[in-house]
Amino acid sequence: MKKTNLVSILLASAVAIAVTSLTAFSMGDKGSEMKQDKMSEGSSSALSVATFAGGCFWCMESPFEKIPGVHQVVSGYTGGHKQDPTYKEVSHGSTGHVEAIQITYDSAKVSYNDLLEVLWRNIDPTDDKGQFVDRGQQYTTGIFYHNDSQKMKAQASKDRLMKSGRFDKNIVTPVIKVMEFFAAEDYHQDYYKKSPVRYHFYRSRSGRDQFIDKFWGDDRQYKIKKASNNSASSIAATGETLSNKPHSRPEADARGVPIKVATMTQSYSKPSNEELKERLTALQYKVTQKEGTESPFNNKYWDNHADGIYVDIVSGEPLFSSTNKFESGTGWPSFDRPLVTENVIEKKDSTFFMVRIEVRSKNADSHLGHLFDDGPKTTGLRYCINSASLKFIPVETMEQEGYGEYLPLFPNAKKST
């Protein structure tokens, strides 16, 4: 090989490496660049931008991405006072931002008015405190107009909705001038595609689809009129229907005994913080009040095989049963379903650079653990719970401790006398 050819090859290789490194660096940890490449394919001069806020942006991407003429939908944050905020900062409500989506669309194929109609069918426009299960200013709705035309159309659409009488409360979704939009972290982009099981599980329990069904019914399907030929294309204006949701909670336990739904007459409440510090051990307080995690294989109940139920260490509200406990190999108590469904609630948890479903008790608001979709075939779910959050009530003492109504779960167990 000639020396000049060798030099040329080495020089070309160096340039290629530099370009690759620069490209990787420019991607960062935000999601807009990835979708920008997708949008640039087949883009045209007729592209416009719309920005909406409708609560959890996971649930807002899907309805718009399915519309012909929409090139991309990016999840992000807008309306706040901090530059380049993180999800953790926004979710804590400290930056003034709301979760939002930015839609790039071909105005020759889909109109701004059409996008507004889809928006109304995916939000609760009467709620100024949040959206469905997600509460706080960061989850409120909003229409962020980019020009005077969008402003007039948005206000006119809002007025029509108010006059329609569809809702029995005032429409509070604001129409405000667009502010700087920051793309959310990459793991949030197209979350409904990347983590479909977790997305469906969250959405089915958020209350969004139930609200849409109640107030829109058959009208939840909005027909987009294509501007090019005036033909109507039926587009699902909402996301997935409830009938397709996987992993719905079972109505009976593994032995066929109906799961309770808050039928007990006792009231469960959370004591004062001072009392909790006196009653709980340092680990119990850290786990339940500070969202801590105990060590695996070194906790009280991970290998407990006795018959009985597990209640909240703080309030005593019944949570899980040994009839639904299984060996997960994780070192923490694991259950495939709750005992009282209403006492176990789920919340989105995005700490540690991942998205999980946190499990908390309803009345005491104790942190219990997390919910995963790798459970046994009975439900497909794994409630991974900290022993420090629980108190075990053996079947022998359930009646005297006030949990006698759960004794039918253990027909062969001996009762205390």
Question: Judging by DSSP bridges, how do beta strands 175-177 and 141-145 pair with one another?
Answer: parallel
Comparing CA positions, the residue from 303, 326, 310, 339 lying closest to residue 376 is 326
Query: What is the DSSP code string of 144-205?
Result: EESSHHHHHHHHHHHHHHHHHT-SSS-----EEE---EEEPBGGGTTHHHHSHHHHHHHHHT
The sign one gets for the Cα dihedral 343, 349, 352, 353 is positive
The residues that are catalytic are: 56, 384
Other C-beta atoms closer than 10 Å to the C-beta of 4 total 8
Cα–Cα dist 233/67, whole Å: 9
Residues with Cβ < 8 Å from 115, sequence gap 6 or more? 50, 52, 64, 67, 103, 105
Q: How far apart are CA 399 and CA 197, in angstroms?
A: 39
Which is nearest to 141 in space by CA: 131, 154, 153? Answer: 131
Tokens representing residue 322 in the block: 């040994």
Q: Label residues 224-244 b or e (16+ Cβ within 10 Å = b).
A: bebeeeeeeeebbbbbbeeee
Yes or no: say if 62 and 209 are a contact pair by the CB < 8 Å rule: no
